[in-house]
Amino acid sequence: MIHFRLSCNAGHEFEGWFPSGEAYDRQAKRKQITCATCGSTKIAKVPMAPAIAGKGAMEQAKAQEMRQLLDMMRAKVEKNCDYVGPAFAEEARKIHYGESDKRGIYGETSDDEARALAEEGIDFARLPWPRRTDS
Ligand SMILES: [Zn+2]
């Protein structure tokens, strides 16, 4: 069975179940499908686009978009930078003062450490790292 959302030429929308797409085409051509509201046999399929609606749908869409951006950014960082884990602040400091090779790093840092780094004029950015979806 296949499910279609249908609309008559007067704009009444209704739903129909058909054994197959061809069965729908055949029935529509033979005017065997009628609008329950006005009896019209001029029926067309309403395109079913993936959509989200309702309260918070926009926010959800934006959050999704933001998340995709962050995922892309994360992939880029993971590819180009060394992961130093919780030693981030220490390593960033070493790089800044030339004690470590100059390179891109990423890892975790606490609010206090981040503040200290900023006060020392060390260049870094904090990202709202999304959790991996596959974990
Ligand atoms: Zn109708």
Contact between 14 and 40 under an 8 Å Cβ cutoff? The reply is no
Considering the entire predicted model, what is its pTM?
Answer: 0.47
Q: Which residues of the chain have pLDDT under 50?
A: 135
State residue 115's pLDDT score: 92
Q: How far is the CA of 2 from the centre of ligand 1 (A)?
A: 21
Contact between 73 and 126 under an 8 Å Cβ cutoff? The reply is no
Q: How far is the CA of 7 from the centre of ligand 1 (A)?
A: 7
Q: Where are the domains of the chain?
A: 2-45, 57-119
State residue 63's pLDDT score: 82
State residue 119's pLDDT score: 93
Q: How far is the CA of 31 from the centre of ligand 1 (A)?
A: 13
Contact between 84 and 106 under an 8 Å Cβ cutoff? The reply is yes
